[in-house]
Structure 1
Amino acid sequence: MKPFRSIVFDLYGTLYDVHSVAGICDQAFPGKGAAISQLWRQKQLEYTWLRSLMDRYVNFEALTDDALRFTCTALGLTLEEDMARVLGDLYLQLLPHEEMPATLHRLKDAGIPLGIISNGSHKSIAQVVNNSSMGWAFDELISVEDVQVFKPHPKVYELAARRMGHSREHILFVSANGWDASGASLFGYPTCWVNRTLGAFDVLGATPTVVTENLTAMADWVLEDWDGIPEISEGDAAGDAATRPDA
Structure 2
Amino acid sequence: MPLPAPLDHADAVVFDAYGTLLDVHSAVQRHAAAIGPDAARLSETWRQKQLEYSWVLSLCGHYAPFWTLTERALDHALARHPGVDPAIRPDLLDAYRTLDAYPEVPGTLDALRRAGLTTAILSNGDTAMLAAAVTAADLAERLDAVLSVDPAGTFKTAPRAYDLAPDRLGVPRERIVFLSSNRWDIAGAAAYGFAPVWVNRTDQPDEYPDLEPVRVIRSLDGLLA
Please report the TM-score for the alignment, with normalisation by the length of structure 2.
0.92
Tell me the distance in 1 between the aligned counterparts of 2:16 and 2:70.
17
Aligned residue in 1 for 2:166:
161
| Structure 2 residue 6 is the aligned partner of structure 1 residue 13 | no
CA distance in 2, matches of 1:16, 1:203: 24
Where structure 2 has 5 or more consecutive residues not aligned to the other structure, the ranges are: 3-7
Q: CA deviation at 1:27?
A: 3.4
**Residue of structure 2 aligned with 1:172, choices 169, 177, 189:** 177
Give the structure 2 partner of residue 37 of structure 1: 43
**Is the CA contact 2:101–2:137 (under 8 Å) kept in the aligned structure 1?**
yes
Structure 1 segments (4+ residues) deviating >4 Å: none
Gaps of 5+ in 1: 221-247
Match of 1:26 among 32, 39, 46: 32
Larger-Rg structure:
1
**Aligned ranges 1:70-219 → 2 under 5 Å:** 70-76=76-82, 77-80=84-87, 83-203=88-208, 205-219=210-224
Question: 1:56 aligned to 55, 62, 68, which one?
Answer: 62
User: How far apart are the structure 2 equivalents of 1:129 and 1:105?
Assistant: 15
Aligned length: 218
1:38-67 CA-partner distances (Å, limit 9, x unpaired): 111111111110111122211111100000
In the TM superposition, residue 75 of structure 1 has moved relative to its aligned partner by 1.1
Native 8 Å contact 2:17 2:123 kept in 1:
yes
Deviation at 1:92, TM superposition (A): 1.1
Report which stretch shifted further, 50-59 or 185-194. 50-59
Give the conservation status (yes or no) of the 8 Å contact 2:35–2:85. Answer: no
State the distance in 1 between where 2:224 and 2:46 align.
30
Task: Specify the code of the residue in structure 1 equivalent to 2:125.
Answer: G
Any idea what SS the aligned residue of 1:141 has? strand
Q: Percent identity?
A: 36
- What secondary structure is seen at the aligned counterpart in 1 of 2:54? helix
Counterparts in 2 of 1:110 and 1:188: CA distance versus 1, 3 Å: same
2-structure distance, mates of 1:201, 1:152 = 18
**What residue identity is the alignment partner of 1:97?**
Y
Q: Is contact 1:25-1:32 (8 Å) kept?
A: no
Q: Which residue of 2 aligns with 1:226?
A: none
In the alignment, is the contact (CA less than 8 A) between 1:24 and 1:33 conserved in 2? Answer: no
State the TM-score, normalized to the length of structure 1: 0.84
RMSD (Å) for aligned C-alpha atoms? 1.4
In 2, Cα distance between equivalents of 1:191 and 1:96: 21
